[in-house]
Structures are given as structure tokens and as C-alpha cells.
Chains A and B, each alone.
Chain A
């Protein structure tokens, strides 16, 4: 167990340094734009570390229900990610075959909303 700051708090500290001390010193508009994008990337990292894992667990659970799988949701995170990829691949094949399960659209709306909670929460909030 590492001491505090946790990984998300450390990413936050780096982003804050970047935004308050580095960004104001950059004049080149090209570098400035990339620095803003990089700060946004650190924000994504903070949120993924803070609450990314339960969202993947939720996605795997929802995919298993949608596709009719009854086995257990893996505990190990790498295993969980592999399972998410495999289940999404299975869903993709069904969609391509014109044989997607009922509830696919609602499932995808919820899953993509969860991706946005990490990748772009402001987009999700203002979406109407």
C-alpha cells in the first residue's frame, strides 16, 4: 500500500501545476493548444483512477445480462477488461448478423454514458 497522495491525487497535482504554472508561460499557440489537450488528458486519468474500475464492472455485468451469460463477473481487473472486450466482440458479431438482443440500444446508451463520465463529463452534463 502506497502512502498518500493516491494515484488520482497525484495526477490531479500534476494537472494543477500544469494549468496554473506552465500554461500561462506558453506563448506559441500550437504548443499552448497541445498543453491544454495534455491537461485534459490528465483529467481523464484522474477520473479513471478514481472511479474507472466499478464502471467496467458495471459494463461487464450489463453485457452478461444482455447476452444471457450466467457465470461470475471476474474480480481481477485485467481479467475484467478482457471479459469486457470479449463480450463487446460477441455483441458486435450479433449486430453485424442482424441478430442483436432486445435492449441493445438502452444498454449502449448507459454504457457510453459511463465512458463519458471518465472521458468527457462536461459533454455528458450539457447533452440535451
Chain B
């Protein structure tokens, strides 16, 4: 079945690649890669007169995790702007429009490990783990310095808007979740009054980074980019779900928070406090708990039948448990 789809795709894809790479091209390999609950990723080896290009075709799969997910076309534009600003993002080659009925774009295919469990556990990546916290801080500081007016389609939003959207998503689930409600009520009472509004990656964490033995190779998966408080992005990789079992190391199963935060503050000129990190870590857990429940609804509603999406619904309880413990500690 995969082979038939690859053949259908391959014909249309080649036509769309001609304007980018010239007519003298041939698809040597096109294979669907693992991972990605809401997007397809195809490894594409393209023969050109200059040699074989290792490319990645990212294509919509029909569903979204959050209402705020960018279209493929907008995700491509964010990637272009980030790459041009010197962020370590895969080189974008072109937005392709619809390929066999669904939008897609093509970028450089970068080397490195992306599976979170391996990044936090494999012995050969120990040096990478030591380097990653500072490197993550550096990429975040670069992203947050990009002028937001380069991406006029992104809506501005403050900390209060984040909670309003989460409450809307929770209401759409139509099943009572008192643990999540308790977290939302806590966060509403402590919403920061003022905040900077900058371009956020929206999902920068272990699992969305290509990691080599030298550490951070590239920042991937830009579909949740939006404008907001920079601390939202800085605290996101702390969320326990992104520690992949190495739970005692609060920053993504890699290390402690303090050196990472100091590096970010030094580079960005901001003064983000640990208290503010704690607030946004709680909001991050809220976001992923609601995200997990929302993904299961994609399966239950028939929008996208998938055993993976079905089981994710039951894992929301993990985020609820963490959330309650964070609330207990925060008082």
C-alpha cells in the first residue's frame, strides 16, 4: 500500500520540483518516515546535475493537535524566516502546494537522532547531552529576536489569551476533567500582568531536535510557531513528558534548569526568573494534557482513525498527575 502511495506521490512531486531544481532531475528514493502524529515526512533522494540532494518532504495528514496549528504554507514561511535569521533550522527549498490532494513543502533532510528516549539515554550521546542545554538556550534567544512583523499572519497574543484558548479546547472535549480545571483556575489567578510578545517556536524540546554527537544539529517541527511570552517557549522543554523517563533532570532529561536559564538570559538580555519558569511549566502541562485529550477526539470523531491517537487519550492522566504535584508544590 505504501508503495502505491509513493508512486502516486512521486509523479506529482517530480513536476513540482522541476521549477526548484530544473528539469534534469530524477527521484532516486521516496520513503515514508516514522513519527509525526499529524504530518507525514518523506525521505527524498533527488538526483540533480550537481549530485544527489537529501531532501525531506513534509506533507499534511489531515488532522491537527491544537486549534492553533499553522497551515503547511505558513509553517514553511516561518521556517524560511528562521533559517534566514541564522537559526539552525533545515534549509527550506520550496512550498509545493498540494501533492496528491494535500499541501507539502520540501526542505533539506538533516542528519541526527530525533527520538527522545534515545537522546536522553544512549551512551554515545553523553557529550551531546552536556552541550544541548546551552545550545537550546542559544537557538531560543535567536528565534525570540526575530522581528514579528516578518510574519504578519501570526496573531499576537498574551498570557491571558493562552488560557482562554486552552479553556475553549477543554470545553470542546465535553468530558469533565477536574484536575485540569484546577490547574487552569490556578494559572488564571497568577497570569502575568505584562509580558513581551515575540516569535515563539512553540514546540522546542527533546524530540523535535536533530541531535548529533556534537549536540544540537537542527531545530525541527515549526507547525506550532506563534507569538507570545518568551517564557512559554523557555519553560516548554521542562515539561515532564519531554524528559523521556529521565525524570530527575528537569530540563528535558538533560540537565538542571539554572545554567540553561542563565545562558538564555545572558543572550537575550531578558531577566526570566525561576518563578516565571514554574508558572509556564504548569501551563505547559495543561497544554499537553488538553492536547492529548484533543488528539483522542480526532480518533473518536472519525476525523482520523488511529490506535495511536486512541491510546494518547488515556495518557492525559500522566500529565494530570504531574500537574497536581506541581500545584501542590506551588501552593
> With A100-B182, A119-B317 known to touch, is A41 a contact of B175 (CB < 8 Å)?
no
**A53 lies within 8 A of chain B by Cβ:** no
The reply to whether B34 and A29 contact each other, CB–CB distance below 8 Å, is: yes
Q: Which of A30, A37, A104, A115 contacts B182 (CB 8 A)?
A: A104
> With A96-B181, A108-B179 known to touch, is A41 a contact of B33 (CB < 8 Å)?
no
Q: Which residues of B contact A (CB under 8 A)?
A: 2, 32-35, 175-179, 181-182, 185, 245, 247-248, 306-308, 310-311, 314-315, 317-318, 320-322, 324-325, 327-328
**A89 lies within 8 A of chain B by Cβ:** yes
The reply to whether B248 and A128 contact each other, CB–CB distance below 8 Å, is: yes
Q: Which of B245, B307, B318, B324 contacts A38 (CB 8 A)?
A: B307
The reply to whether B35 and A116 contact each other, CB–CB distance below 8 Å, is: no
Closest to A90 in B: B176
**A113 lies within 8 A of chain B by Cβ:** yes
The reply to whether A119 and B247 contact each other, CB–CB distance below 8 Å, is: no
Closest to B312 in A: A37
Q: Which of B178, B185, B314, B318 contacts A108 (CB 8 A)?
A: B178
Shortest A125–chain B CB gap in Å is: 12
**Residues of A close to B307: CB separation below 8 A:** 34, 37-38, 41
Query: Which residues of chain A in 19-76 are interfacial with respect to chain B, using CB atoms and an 8 Å cutoff?
Result: 28-30, 32-34, 37-38, 40-41, 44
Q: Which residues of A contact B (CB under 8 A)?
A: 28-30, 32-34, 37-38, 40-41, 44, 85, 88-89, 91-92, 95-96, 98, 100, 104-105, 108-109, 111-113, 115-116, 118-120, 123-124, 126-128
> Across chains A and B, which 3 residue pairs bring their CB atoms closest together, nearest first?
A88-B176, A29-B34, A115-B317
The reply to whether B327 and A112 contact each other, CB–CB distance below 8 Å, is: no
The reply to whether B182 and A108 contact each other, CB–CB distance below 8 Å, is: yes
The reply to whether B33 and A113 contact each other, CB–CB distance below 8 Å, is: no
The reply to whether B181 and A120 contact each other, CB–CB distance below 8 Å, is: no
Shortest A92–chain B CB gap in Å is: 5
* Interface pairs (6), CB distance under 8 Å: A33-B35, A41-B311, A96-B181, A100-B185, A112-B317, A115-B317
The reply to whether B318 and A91 contact each other, CB–CB distance below 8 Å, is: no
Shortest B42–chain A CB gap in Å is: 11
The reply to whether A30 and B32 contact each other, CB–CB distance below 8 Å, is: yes
**Residues of A close to B185: CB separation below 8 A:** 95-96, 98, 100
Q: Which of B33, B175, B248 contacts A85 (CB 8 A)?
A: B175
- A104-B178, A109-B328 known, 4 other contacts, Cβ within 8 Å: A91-B181, A108-B320, A112-B324, A113-B321
Closest to A89 in B: B176
Count A/B pairs, Cβ under 8 Å: 94
**Residues of B close to A92: CB separation below 8 A:** 176-178, 181
Q: In the complex, A123 Cα to B324 Cα: how many Å? A: 15
The reply to whether A91 and B178 contact each other, CB–CB distance below 8 Å, is: yes
**Residues of A close to B318: CB separation below 8 A:** 116, 119-120, 123
Q: Which of A33, A104, A120 contacts B317 (CB 8 A)?
A: A120
The reply to whether A88 and B321 contact each other, CB–CB distance below 8 Å, is: no
Q: In the complex, A80 Cα to B123 Cα: how many Å? A: 49
**Residues of A close to B317: CB separation below 8 A:** 112, 115-116, 119-120
Shortest B176–chain A CB gap in Å is: 4
Shortest B210–chain A CB gap in Å is: 16
Q: Output the residue of B32, B178, B310, B322 with the most chain A CB within 10 A.
A: B178
> With A28-B2, A29-B34, A92-B181 known to touch, is A120 a contact of B324 (CB < 8 Å)?
no
Closest to A41 in B: B311
**Residues of B close to A113: CB separation below 8 A:** 321
The reply to whether A120 and B178 contact each other, CB–CB distance below 8 Å, is: no
Q: In the complex, A126 Cα to B240 Cα: how many Å? A: 12
**Residues of A close to B320: CB separation below 8 A:** 108, 112, 115
Shortest B121–chain A CB gap in Å is: 14
**Residues of A close to B315: CB separation below 8 A:** 119-120
Closest to B327 in A: A105
Q: In the complex, A115 Cα to B178 Cα: how many Å? A: 13
Q: In the complex, A30 Cα to B177 Cα: how many Å? A: 32
Q: In the complex, A127 Cα to B315 Cα: how many Å? A: 14
